[in-house]
Amino acid sequence: MDLKYTPEQEAFRKEARAWLEANVPSEKLASFDTKEGFEQHREWEKKLQAGGYAMVPWPVEYGGRGANLLEWLIFEEEYYRAGAPGRVNQNGIFLLGPTIMDVGTPEQKARFLPKMASSEEVWAQGWSEPNAGSDMANIQATAIKDGDHFVINGQKTWASRGAFAHWLFGMFRSDPDSTRHKGLTFILVPLDTPGITVRPIEKLNNKKAFAEVFFDDARVPVEYQLGEEGKGWDVAMATAGFERGLMLRSPARFQDTARKLVELYKETVASGAYVAPELRRTVAQCWMDAEAYALNTYQTVAHLMGGGKIGAEASLNKIFWSELDTKMHETALKLLGHRAELLPGSSAAGDVGEWLDGYIFALAGPIYAGTNEIQRNIIAERILGMPRK
């Protein structure tokens, strides 16, 4: 792998940087976990789409720029450098979109991808159920075929962005006599379908963007089935691979947090406050770990561009970035001392409150996208070849 950028890649970086500097909102948008912020972020996504940066590695006909994955990494670096808003449709563009590219029909690609890229339609993730969180093979919600429709009954919970989203993707048990990962079908569900009730769930930060979704004889056209009937597990594993291995959490996100942590350390030292030597070493280690994750991601991208696939090693990535994110925020709170308790928007908080907000979110990292305990089981069985018991 050549770690030097080509003249074309440098030109792309320069172009992206100029566009972002001219277009990133001067004032921070409200959280997309609120109704107001959700709509503000959709407007931002439309601007990205108009500029050709909504999803740079997608084909042009589906709302992308036709760039490669290396250019996507470069764009992500510039995106975080510019302090651009979070991506409200991340479940769609980073997870479901690549899956539709892989297994969707031509009609599904044309129907869903352009509206996903522009966030005209925002997607919720519908993996978890009350008794099937990280253990997705225990899914109980059913989708029984009746003519040219599936009749869906059951419940999903912890649906990310579910309170405001337009569509939900998830697995449903289409063979009621099946068990575990067999007899499941991956279905795309419009949330305005009669028989569907969405109930928001309040998070630790008091915002209600997660949701429980209840299905009561909701009829969804068969044309919204993604992949083969009864083979939803295989489709979902491809989606989870994107989630854990590459697209959901680009290295630029953690490199940006690491840079801010180093700046916080420098400001703390400059203020004359005592900083324990072990805390200084932790700051340095966090910065190095973020850089290591970036280099590993470049290696993964080179592997993919050479025709490779993401396998069980995606679980290694997921554990690494989720634990790194938690460590960086814990370290920041230690540097802040008593100021760590300030929330964003509180008097005298300034930018300091972002650390506590980020810490609360980082706590969820080892849980979402499949708990780290499940990822360690996958590593033990599929990479190390250890027995299940």
The closest of 322, 317, 316, 329 to 258, measured between CA atoms, is 329
Q: Say how far apart CA 74 and CA 10 lie, in whole Å.
A: 9
**Token pair in block for residue 341:** 């308790």
Q: Is 323 part of the annotated catalytic residue set?
A: no
Q: Contacts from 36-40 at CB under 8 Å and sequence distance 24+?
A: 38/88, 38/122, 38/164, 38/209, 40/85
Say how far residue 85 (Cα) sits from the centre of its chain: 14
**Token pair in block for residue 117:** 């890229």
CA 370 to each of CA 68, 301, 367: distance values in angstroms, whole numbers, following the listed order: 28, 22, 6
Count how many residues are written for the chain. Answer: 389
The answer to whether 20 touches 14, Cβ cutoff 8 Å, is: no
Count CB atoms within 10 A of the CB of residue 32: 25
Q: What is the DSSP letter of 95?
A: I
CA 21 to each of CA 39, 48, 87, 142, 175: distance values in angstroms, whole numbers, following the listed order: 22, 13, 17, 48, 52
The answer to whether 344 touches 387, Cβ cutoff 8 Å, is: no
Cβ neighbors of 279 (< 8 A, separation 6 or more) are 265, 331, 334, 335
Select which of 78, 121, 129, 243 is catalytic. Answer: 243
**Token pair in block for residue 51:** 């500029």
Active-site positions read 243
